Amino acid sequence: MKRAFTYISLLLLILYAQYGYDVYQKSLSAAEIKGVLSEITNEITSIPLQPADGHKITNLHSIRQQGGYLYFLSNKTLYQYTTKGTFVRRITHPEYTPVAGYAINPAGQELIVLSENQHILYYSMHGELKEQREIHSSLDDVQITSFTLLNESIYLIEEGIDNSNPSEGAVIRQQIVCYDRNLEHKYEQAIINANIGRPRWMFTGLQTTLYADQDSGLMYAYRPGMNTNYLLQDTLFLRDNWQSLLVEAHKNKTIPAIPLQLGQRFWISSFADNRNEAGSYTFCYDKKRNCYWQAEGGFSDDYFQTGIINHMEPIDNYGQQYAFTKSGETLKGAFPQEAASDTTVVFIFTLKA
């Protein structure tokens, strides 16, 4: 009898929770299937890139701005341009230093570069190599999948085999390791799936990126979700529980992983499927207007009419400023000269406040 009562109580709890979620969902503005950029930003800057001393710029990513200059990665090479699109220099060369990631340290006026051979290299803002140091991980067969600089501390996401406990044997582990600017080890923290109100949500296998929460400054991990059916439910749960969840995770010396990038007003999940463009999406929730978009393929550029944006990435640690790139036929309307010469154009925008 007691067991039956327990089962009935659990069933009622689930039904009431689902009912509450359905009521809450209906209180939102209707989802827009085709989101446009003017809904989330007031202005976009376009930067057509000049030829890079005979090197073709493709697969451009990891865009940053600092002091009138634009930095980005292309084919494992770090480039420096002006914010007008004028080529300045190739800072690294992939045959010697294949770049896996980098960050700008404004306080030290330097570029900190992570190479694929697990070295950290320090360059001046004008590309002069000052020093390099080797990373020493506590894991075996380690791979470094993410690199972030925040408050002059270096954060690496490491994945490898942990052999530290003989009784447990070899364990595959993912961890965040914090170093100071000189690559002196400070601490390690595990990445955990945040409790977002539903069981069995798992990492997707996509790359994890670290960001800082706007309000608390505490770090969290973002990895886009592959099942878009749950993104609204996850968003509503996090809106009501995020700060307490984040603080609790850090008290336990862990970093919570969630399927959203949390800006001041807009919360975004964006995934670009390079093998199947139809599999790309951008989900965006507007906290101010209490509405959301679930744009298949991505948001549409209604400023320069360059079509669907299947990939846009934050260019800061807080998810407030974004960038995307276009080339070829998509530029034909607004940039005919760049379209004809197969020039890449970088577009940068700041989310509405």
Compute the distance between CA of residue 192 and CA of residue 200 in angstroms, rounded to an integer: 13
- Residue that has been written with the tokens 């300045």 in this structure: 88
For 30-351, the fitting CATH number among 2.40.128.630, 1.10.3720.10, 1.20.1250.20, 3.40.50.2000 is 2.40.128.630
pLDDT for residue 20 = 42
How far apart (Å, rounded) are the C-alpha atoms in residues 124 and 109? 7
What is the reported pLDDT for 196?
85
Six token digits for residue 261: 């990038």
Report the half-sphere exposure of 314 (CA within 13 A, side-chain side). Answer: 22
Q: Between the CA of residue 122 and those of 73, 133, 142, what are the distances in Å?
A: 16, 9, 22
Determine the pLDDT at residue 54.
81
- pLDDT at position 193 is 87
User: In the chain, what are the domain boundaries?
Assistant: 30-351
Could you write out the DSSP letters of every residue in 79-99? EEEETTS-EEEE---TTT--E
Q: Which residues on adjacent β-strands are paired with residue 39? A: none
Q: According to the model, what pLDDT value does residue 268 have?
A: 95
d(CA 56, CA 274): 20
User: What is this structure's pTM?
Assistant: 0.86
pLDDT of residue 4: 44
In order along its 353 residues, the chain shows pLDDT tens digits of 444 444 444 444 434 444 444 434 444 555 556 789 999 999 999 999 999 988 888 889 999 999 899 999 999 999 999 999 999 999 999 999 999 999 999 988 999 999 998 999 999 999 999 999 999 888 889 889 889 999 889 999 998 898 888 888 888 888 899 999 999 999 999 888 888 877 655 555 567 899 999 889 999 999 887 778 888 999 999 999 999 999 999 999 999 999 999 999 999 998 887 666 667 889 999 999 999 998 888 999 999 999 999 889 999 999 999 999 999 999 999 999 999 998 999 999 999 99
Strand partners, 123: 111, 129
Which residues lie closer than 8 Å to 160 by C-beta, 6 or more apart? 137, 139, 140, 141, 142, 143, 172, 173
Buried b (16+ CB within 10 A) or exposed e, 290-300: eebbbbebbbb
CB 177 within 8 A of CB 156: yes
User: How far apart are the C-alpha atoms of 97 and 93, rounded to whole Å?
Assistant: 6
